[in-house]
Structure 1
């Protein structure tokens, strides 16, 4: 303690001076002078969302764009001096479809008069229905494959063919001019969109029934140029065909038996119908030309179907060549399908194939 006088003044401390901000946070200058990384934050999510949208609605986006382009070419006179065949396929105003169609037209049974019966035509339509049955079976299998359902039991296939027969009967009553068949394009569309909900099919059917009354609406769709449909078919049929090829994974493709059956059936399925179609286009009648017109129609219609010829040849060879050998059954892949030969064997079949609106009570699948 210092003596004398007043107490000594307290020592004076220097003012607190913090370190510069850049020394405390070396990266702060980057945050101040650079914008936030919006691209890295939001762009991946936006791309993922847009990808799912374009996957689901690819057809709805592409058709209007190309259709509008064809309309602009038509209005601009691009097809004015084109050959008639080009104008027929590419113009959007051909034959006055939209202008000549009525606004409202309600279809009703026998609108074209009383039905007539001809034995020859009946046999020809039976042959066409049989061919449609074979092609529809392939479409059923493709749809079940892309919808991630269990393999279709035979009873469900029979039920689907029966409903198809009811559709053909309604076609005859309303005079549509063509029969009903399973749309292979819809199987490809299911694979493209990956939407296998029954609700979508039910809503689509309701829209089609409602808009069938509006004649202008149907005429607008009829004005879509044929090349647009051809482009869609290239995609849809590719998916439908790949579904059938995918089933070959259950077969033993290393055996010469399987290779011969596969190659020969595909070759005959492409060449025989091509011969029948070219012969008919040149001669005006099919290769089978006898005095019985109904017999000619049956044979020519059946062998003009690529799916039927290929399937028939493959079925015939697969059930005749070395069928009773022990190793052939495994090479054919039959052991994979044993548990799906009955509707009640797999409990998931009820979930996938039961009819809506409690119709299973009247149309059971057993």
Structure 2
């Protein structure tokens, strides 16, 4: 054999993303055009709006707040979620994910709300709301500090080695099952509107693209927008037509489109600021409970991040 090293075989080049995933229209390096991207972003906003509204709707009344406080909490959540989504999509891992409120922290938050030290403010609901919010803020600050320390110190890498779908899925599933009461029972409060919403979104996203071939991508991509518009018009017609005039107050609050009180209570323009409800208060027991929820959130985020990366790199 002649002297010299044998020529190195050419390494196989990765296939284009569309060759690997034929059903994928857009990849990281080929984003959709701006008009479609704006509509898809608005649809993401509608999807996360349900979570953003549901959490304050269930927690703020227990804290003593009314429609005005509920509207401010929702505005704050939306503002912070949008800011976090913008920052994480521009810096760091840049995962294609929308930031929002997490149900993982709801049980710990409820334990703070039910703490006995806030019973002294039962005569002043607004003051009770502010005091409870300050305690929640303090616990979240401590919990976020734990996440920062574990992330920047590199200690979390030692934990992720022991994480697998076999250990993570039961943990996340148990957290989700414990919060079941915040979801479907709300739909059952107004089944004549909640059930059509579920049926229509499944019909538009799963069945209609196979019937109307020409607009297949439109229906399966924008199924949420179509279904929400259709069902909201349907609910508004029932409200205007007087279908709930003689119904019970709870039914009217759940089914009518003019009983939420959030639009009237919310200011047109409002920019949240840090500690808008006062300086945070700290309690060791409450902080420890929130730290446990923070640990569960770390596991959840780590698992889903790995899942997203596996989809992007396969």
TM-score normalised per structure 1 = 0.44
Q: Which residue does the alignment assign to 2:101?
A: 182
Distance 2:199 2:226 in 1: 10
Is the 8 Å Cα contact of residues 60 and 66 (structure 2) preserved in structure 1?
A: yes
Cα drift, residue 311 of structure 1? 7.6
Q: Structure 1 residues 164 and 218 mapped into 2: Cα distance closer, same or farther (>3 Å)?
A: farther
Q: Which residue does the alignment assign to 1:321?
A: 241
Distance 1:296 1:337 in 2: 30
Is the 8 Å Cα contact of residues 53 and 74 (structure 2) preserved in structure 1?
A: yes
Bigger RCO of structures 1 and 2 (CA < 8 A, at least 6 apart) = 2
Rg (Cα) greater in structure: 1
Distance 2:184 2:213 in 1: 36
Is the 8 Å Cα contact of residues 204 and 220 (structure 2) preserved in structure 1?
A: no
- Three-state SS of the structure 2 residue aligned to 1:273 is helix
Is the 8 Å Cα contact of residues 56 and 74 (structure 2) preserved in structure 1?
A: yes
Which of 121, 140, 164 lines up with 1:201 in the alignment?
140
1:271 lines up with 2:199 in the alignment: yes
CA RMSD across the alignment: 4.7
Q: Which residue does the alignment assign to 1:136?
A: 52
Q: Which has the higher helix share?
A: 2
Cα drift, residue 318 of structure 1? 5.2
Q: Which residue does the alignment assign to 1:168?
A: 85
Residues matched between the structures, number: 214
Q: Which residue does the alignment assign to 1:300?
A: 223
1:226 lines up with 2:226 in the alignment: no
Q: Which residue does the alignment assign to 1:126?
A: 42
Distance 1:276 1:231 in 2: 31
Q: Structure 1 residues 264 and 177 mapped into 2: Cα distance closer, same or farther (>3 Å)?
A: same
TM-score normalised per structure 2 = 0.50
Cα drift, residue 189 of structure 1? 4.7
Cα drift, residue 192 of structure 1? 6.1
Is the 8 Å Cα contact of residues 189 and 236 (structure 1) preserved in structure 2?
A: no
Cα drift, residue 220 of structure 1? 5.2
Distance 2:212 2:162 in 1: 38
Cα drift, residue 291 of structure 1? 5.0
Q: Structure 1 residues 309 and 341 mapped into 2: Cα distance closer, same or farther (>3 Å)?
A: closer
Distance 1:145 1:242 in 2: 19
